[in-house]
Chains A and B, each alone.
Chain A
Amino acid sequence: RKEVEQDPGPFNVPEGATVAFNCTYSNSASQSFFWYRQDCRKEPKLLMSVYSSGNEDGRFTAQLNRASQYISLLIRDSKLSDSATYLCVVANSGGSNYKLTFGKGTLLTVNP
């Protein structure tokens, strides 16, 4: 099983649609979880952290299910500017050790 596995995509949705991305991780001891966004030919940028209780940032909602080792990202009322690759990221740390493992990403295209 891959360390971090995402929906392969690509997703093509119209403006205003709601779209959900899913991600599973293999290491049950993982401590921190993030969604990053990467635009074409750009660097990854943090979109939001994912907390155990779930968290929302405007149109974006992230959920974590530790029992199922599952993370999700929901985008409501999608905009053209949401078109990007969304990377699920899992962190494992202890002492001075800290390692992020990235999923391969899911490409989202929002169409007018």
Chain B
Amino acid sequence: DAGVIQSPRHEVTEMGQEVTLRCKPISGHDYLFWYRQTMMRGLELLIYFNNNVPIDDSGMPEDRFSAKMPNASFSTLKIQPSEPRDSAVYFCASKTAGSNQPQHFGDGTRLSIL
């Protein structure tokens, strides 16, 4: 079975550039989550969607970050303009409905902003 698929796996870009991260959730999953992980702050929830609708974006650090889910099989996280402090690993995860159902994570995108 295909898991959560993220692209790119690695991204290195200069500050000020636009960065777009992509995610394909597991087919049939109702929820999609975007996380950011750093050594200092651990794993932080940025935003999540239920049935393609954003439910909670309170973790999005600032207006430079935006996320969309145009359909059930695709989501993007965009940073514009990017800054060095955005450097982190960004994970996408998906799950089915039900509070006891676990989240399944993608391999992550390792982002470096120079």
Contacts and interface: CB of A to CB of B under 8 A. Distances in A.
Interface of A: 31-32, 34, 42-46, 49, 87, 91, 93, 96-105
B interface, over-half SS: strand
Nearest to A32: B99
A96 B50 contact: yes
Contacts of A44: 43, 91, 105
B18 interface: no
Nearest to A46: B102
A102 B108 contact: no
Q: How large is the interface on B (under 10, 10 to 19, 20 to 34, 35 or more residues)?
A: 20 to 34
Contacts of B107: 42-43
A6 B99 CA distance: 22
Given A87-B43, A99-B45, A105-B42, A32 B105 contact: no
A99 B105 contact: no
A104 B43 CA distance: 7
A98 B48 contact: yes
Nearest to B3: A43
- Classify the interface of chain A: helix, strand, loop or mixed: strand
Specify which of A97, A98, A99, A104 lies most central, judged by the most chain B CB atoms within 10 Å of its CB. A98
Given A32-B100, A45-B105, A99 B42 contact: no
22 contacts: A31-B99, A32-B99, A32-B100, A43-B105, A43-B106, A44-B91, A45-B105, A46-B103, A46-B104, A49-B100, A87-B43, A96-B53, A96-B55, A98-B50, A98-B55, A98-B95, A98-B99, A99-B45, A99-B48, A100-B103, A102-B43, A105-B43
B47 to A, nearest CB: 11
Interface in B9-60: 31, 33, 42-43, 45, 48, 50-51, 53, 55-56
Given A32-B100, A103-B42, A105-B42, 20 more contacts: A31-B99, A32-B99, A42-B107, A43-B91, A43-B105, A43-B108, A46-B102, A87-B43, A91-B99, A93-B99, A97-B55, A97-B56, A98-B95, A99-B45, A100-B33, A100-B45, A100-B103, A101-B45, A102-B42, A104-B43
